[in-house]
Structure 1
Amino acid sequence: MIVTVTPNTALDVTYTVDGLRPGGVHRARDVRHRAGGKGVNVARVLHALGADVLAILTAGGATGAAVSADLAAAGIAADVVPVGGETRRTTTVLADDGTVTLVNEPGPRLAEAEWQAFATAVRARNADVLVCSGSLPPGAGDYADLLGGRPSILDTSGQALLAGLAGRPSVVKPNADELREVTGLRDPEAAAAELRRAGAGAVVVSLGPEGLLAVTASGTWHAAPSTVLRGNTTGAGDAVVAALAWGLSRAEAWPDILRRAVALSGAAVLGPLAGDVDLAHYHREQGLVAVRARRS
């Protein structure tokens, strides 16, 4: 079983508009609500692939109830840890020119007892791969407290990423900006090597339309898509994490994992909402992704 961990759950609200103009009045053509947070998105992608997956998440208030109801309706197995604060909302505005604007609330503060209950729920699960994703809400501990020496993926940023390295995650997945922020290095390969020295088993860097860079104990690879896609990029990184978790759970070789990750990321860009994937594109693209070994 793959277990995803989302301490800072959200109800994702997505607006589709003709165009976004600062200071203007906008009328949305479409409004959609769904359970979100990065770990929830990962679980949704894995569920679509037919994987055995469980989402562990926090939920509080009426918004948290809406999150729980949406997961149940989607058939996604979930272990929901109740909290006293109201679950946050995240807002995505999709404009017809392809721009994507996000507004992310910080999330409710967790009491110490709430964080401990959440950590206990995570530790109680015997996961083949544990996926810890997203920001940490105020009052939370470190992701290192949850990793526990098992196969794991850490997808977060800033101080949460640096502190999480103490748990020695099998893989971390920053994007290029997040990697530069925590290392101060502009060269992604050198920065990834720095995170490996700090405790990460492997580092997979999202390079946007240029694909993925993987720096691992067994080699360094660059994987590039066959074409640049236009669409909703908000769930692309979560689809990469889903592919990494799937590959780790099956002990696949890194080039095969990266082909799936790039193909699934593109499939997410074509999906209308974070967590959706275009499975037809995914299956077509896997054989077209170019994976090249890099000299160290």
Structure 2
Amino acid sequence: MILTVTPNPALDLTWHAARLDPGATHRVEAGHGRAGGKGLNVARVLHQTGHEVLAVTTAGGSSGAEFRSELERSGIPHRLVPVAAPTRRCVAIVDDSAGEATIFNEHGDAPESDEARDLFDAAIALGADADAVAFCGSLPRGLAPEPLVDAVARLVSAGVPTVVDTSGGTLLAAARAGATVVKPNRDELAETTGLADPVEGAHALLDAGARIAVVSLGADGLLVLDRDHRDRIVRARPPALRGNATGAGDAAVAAVLAELVADEPLDLARLARRATAWSASAVLMPFAGELSPDRDDLAARVEVTDDTDDTLESPR
């Protein structure tokens, strides 16, 4: 079983416009709402690809009730921690003519201290029996990073492969706690390390204590670097695509988790190919948390460059 933990979930609301004209009035088809947040998107992708998954997150207020209802309809196995603060909302306006999405993400209010403790206690207890655990997304405004970082450290100490997809001081602290994989995008990496070059930034996280760094580069694909082979850089680039990039990074995290639990030695080039293909596949879908049926064809079209063909032993 793969466990995903989402400290700052969202009720995702998406509208598609034939063409987005700022300041104009648009007539559009009915919007789409679903339980979201990075970890929920990861769980949806894993569920779609046949992996056993459990999503742990919070829900509160009237938006949380809608969040809970949609999640129950989705069939995604989940554990919800009730909180007083309303679940935040995130709005995506997709310009179909340009293949671009404009995103408005509410910050989200911090849970009470006992509610946060319940969330991360559940993550530790359930994660102890998991094959891999992912902590995904931002923290609610006002929530300190220590509970998440402590959960990462305890799971790593127990031998559970742990993936962290967040940013800033929380990401750096998770790297210092020994996270198996850290997965920032280019901007998050620069924010976290202060380094504009993604290779230098990835090395900074590896030097801090992370084992593997996977850096999303948008249309340029991604980089994978390994702490034990510092001179090795695996690069993967997808074919040119147009679509909704919302959730593309979450699909890459799902691919990383799928590779971590596979019954074969972890190969960074294979990981890079799958993560890039799943990320590109997500771009072709209208909503986050979905993969295109063409993902295997996309994987064959991903360009991977690797200066070695070494493999790593399983992280568990």
Paired residue type of 2:300 = G
Paired residue type of 2:125 = A
Q: Offset at 1:223?
A: 1.1
Equivalence for 2:267: 253
Q: Offset at 1:24?
A: 2.5
Mapping of 1:97-136 within 5 angstroms? 97-125=98-126, 126-136=129-139
3-state SS, counterpart of residue 263 of structure 1? helix
Tell me how far apart the structure 2 counterparts of residues 89 and 5 of structure 1 sit (CA, whole Å).
Answer: 18
Tell me how far apart the structure 2 counterparts of residues 252 and 30 of structure 1 sit (CA, whole Å).
Answer: 43
Mapping of 1:1-296 within 5 angstroms? 1-96=1-96, 97-125=98-126, 126-142=129-145, 143-147=148-152, 148=154, 149=156, 150-216=160-226, 217-218=228-229, 219-225=232-238, 227-250=239-262, 251-278=265-292, 280-294=293-307
Q: Offset at 1:99?
A: 2.1
What stretches of structure 2 of length at least 5 have no aligned partner?
309-316
What stretches of structure 1 of length at least 5 have no aligned partner?
none
Equivalence for 2:313: none
Q: TM-score, normalised by structure 1?
A: 0.95
3-state SS, counterpart of residue 114 of structure 1? helix
Paired residue type of 2:254 = A
Identity %: 44
Paired residue type of 1:88 = R
Tell me how far apart the structure 2 counterparts of residues 73 and 238 of structure 1 sit (CA, whole Å).
Answer: 21
Tell me how far apart the structure 2 counterparts of residues 289 and 109 of structure 1 sit (CA, whole Å).
Answer: 40
Q: Offset at 1:169?
A: 0.8
Q: TM-score, normalised by structure 2?
A: 0.89
Q: Which deviations, in whole Å up to 9, do the C-alpha atoms of 1:210-229 show, x marking residues without a partner?
A: 1110011343200112x111
Q: Structure 1 pair 287/98, CA: closer, same or farther in 2 (3 Å)?
A: closer
Tell me how far apart the structure 2 counterparts of residues 141 and 119 of structure 1 sit (CA, whole Å).
Answer: 12
3-state SS, counterpart of residue 223 of structure 2? strand
3-state SS, counterpart of residue 277 of structure 1? coil
Q: Which deviations, in whole Å up to 9, do the C-alpha atoms of 1:151-203 show, x marking residues without a partner?
A: 11110112222232232111111111111122222221111101111121111
Q: Offset at 1:27?
A: 2.5
